[in-house]
Structure 1
Amino acid sequence: MPYLLLLFSLGVYFAAPFLPPKFAFARELSLLFIVISLIWGLRAWLRWRKANTWIIVDGSNVIHWKEGKPDLGTLRLVLSALKTAGFKPGVVFDANVGYKLDGEYMNDRALSRALGLRTKQVMIAPKGTPADPLILQASRDSKARIITNDRFRDWVDEFPDVLKADRLVKGGFRNDELWFSL
Structure 2
Amino acid sequence: MRAPLILLLISCLGVAAALIVPGWSDLLLLAVPMAVAAAILLLRALRHKAPEAASDAQPAGPPVILDGSNVMYWKTQAPDLAPVRDVIATLRAHGLTPAVIFDANAGHLLQGRYWHHADFAKALNLPESHVLVVDKGTPADPLILQAARDQGARIVTNDRYRDWLKTYPEARKPGHLIRGGYAKGPLWLDLPKPQA
TM-score normalised to structure 2 length: 0.65
Alignment of 1:43-58 (within 5 A): 53-58=62-67
Say what the alpha-carbon RMSD is for the aligned residues. 1.3
Partner Cα distance (1:74, 1:172) in 2: 8
Alignment of 1:19-30 (within 5 A): none
C-alpha deviation, 1:148, in angstroms: 0.2
Alignment partner of 1:174 is 2:183 = yes
Once the two structures are superposed, residues 17-60 of structure 1 have per-residue CA deviations (whole angstroms, 9 ceiling, x without a partner) of xxxxxxxxxxxxxxxxxxxxxxxxxxxxxxxxx77610000000
Change in CA separation of 1:164 and 1:52 when aligned onto 2, cut-off 3 Å? farther
For the residue of structure 2 that corresponds to 1:65, the secondary structure is coil
Alignment partner of 1:73 is 2:87 = no
Identity fraction in percent:
47
Instruction: Tell me if structure 1 keeps the 8 A contact 2:121–2:130.
Output: yes
Instruction: Tell me if structure 1 keeps the 8 A contact 2:60–2:96.
Output: no
Give the letter aligned to residue 58 of structure 1.
D
Alignment partner of 1:90 is 2:93 = no
C-alpha deviation, 1:64, in angstroms: 0.2
Partner Cα distance (2:137, 2:99) in 1: 21
Determine the structure 2 residue equivalent to 1:8.
none
Once the two structures are superposed, residues 37-92 of structure 1 have per-residue CA deviations (whole angstroms, 9 ceiling, x without a partner) of xxxxxxxxxxxxx7761000000000000022210112111111111111100100
Partner Cα distance (1:90, 1:56) in 2: 5
Alignment of 1:1-182 (within 5 A): 53-182=62-191
Once the two structures are superposed, residues 104-138 of structure 1 have per-residue CA deviations (whole angstroms, 9 ceiling, x without a partner) of 00000011000000000000111100110000001
Aligned length in residues: 133
Instruction: Tell me if structure 2 keeps the 8 A contact 1:95–1:124.
Output: yes
Partner Cα distance (1:147, 1:93) in 2: 12
Partner Cα distance (1:163, 1:120) in 2: 28
Instruction: Tell me if structure 1 keeps the 8 A contact 2:157–2:177.
Output: yes
For the residue of structure 1 that corresponds to 2:101, the secondary structure is strand
Unaligned residue ranges in structure 1 (runs of 5+) = 1-49
For the residue of structure 1 that corresponds to 2:126, the secondary structure is coil
Give the letter aligned to residue 145 of structure 1.
R
For the residue of structure 2 that corresponds to 1:69, the secondary structure is coil
TM-score normalised to structure 1 length: 0.70
